[in-house]
Amino acid sequence: MTGIRLDGAVVAITGGGRGIGLAIARELSAAGARVSVGDIDAELAQQAGRDLNGYGGFLDVRDRGAFEAFLKATEKALGPIDVLINNAGIMPAGDFLAETDGASDTQIDINVRGVILGCKAVMPSMITRGRGHIINIASMAGRIAVPGLAVYCATKYAVVGLTETLREEFRDSGIQFTMVMPSKVTTELASGTDEAGKGVPTASPEDVALAVRDAIEQQLTDVTVPRYLGPVSALQGITPRWVLRGLRRTLGDRRILEQVDHQARAGYTQRIASLEKPVPTLKADVKKSVKKTVSKSAAKKAV
């Protein structure tokens, strides 16, 4: 499989207006790549595009039309896309039963459906050209269960499974698939977890950006950040559950659930809550149909 040379390569990054995505954009631009930044905050994306002499534009990864429009605009501005980095993601934290359906749905839409849509949108052209690289930013929470992050973990487990499966399904396509699994990263997403995260391996956005650069240049498949966490991920599948549970209790794996500082996370929580879409309610005719069906069922039982 032919690797991608970063010098002159066109790289599209989702969620690139801030945090990890912006750090990746800066790192790859410095390596000579022509970077396209997509973000739901169009102003941040456009500013990053200007700063990096690339392209920046609006992107809501939950919308196929928006994704396709972003990729089309990227190709018009910079050329065919060599690398897509599915980075956009959110992380509410707290009790599973206290998490609203809206918060759960938004995580699934952004963290999972966004990655699926990105892959579907960019892969056909990569297959036609016989080359390309897709990097999905997962998390160590996609390998290790974290109480207090149940739905977030579920979404990242899904990204891990998707990446591994696409790698095998399209192994003869010329497309390289990589999943990057950071531990705690010092961004707004991890705000309010300073006490809860004591002792947890921590990385900076720049550390993740360097890992992404290495993944492209060295054609790596599974990358943990920090890198030394690789064996931890592998041991999950072979270590007896009672040993893992004892280790979890010793390390205090419920700290995110019990000690997260929700006040410190208030700004981030409010921002991601603004992304929630209203849950559709039953229309009058549907309600009537349901009521009629229930009535018929009750009548049959009476007979």
Report whether 14 contacts 21 (CB < 8 A): yes
Q: From residue 233, how far is each of 143, 163, 217, 222 by CA, in Å?
A: 6, 16, 23, 10
Q: Which amino acid is at 254?
A: R
Residue 83 dihedral angles phi and psi, to the nearest 5°: -135, 130
Cβ count within 10 A of residue 251: 11
Closest CA to 13 of 47, 69, 55, 76: 55
157 noted as active-site residue: no
Q: From residue 81, how far is each of 8, 37, 176, 262 by CA, in Å?
A: 11, 12, 13, 40
Query: What is the Cα–Cα distance from 121 to 212, expressed in whole angstroms?
Result: 21
Residue 118 dihedral angles phi and psi, to the nearest 5°: -60, -45
Tokens of 266: 């208030």
- DSSP code at position 109: I
Per annotation, catalytic residue among 55, 152, 157, 268: 152
Query: What is the Cα–Cα distance from 114 to 62, expressed in whole angstroms?
Result: 5
Q: From residue 225, how far is each of 107, 137, 200, 222 by CA, in Å?
A: 22, 11, 12, 10
Which residues participate in catalysis according to the annotation? 152
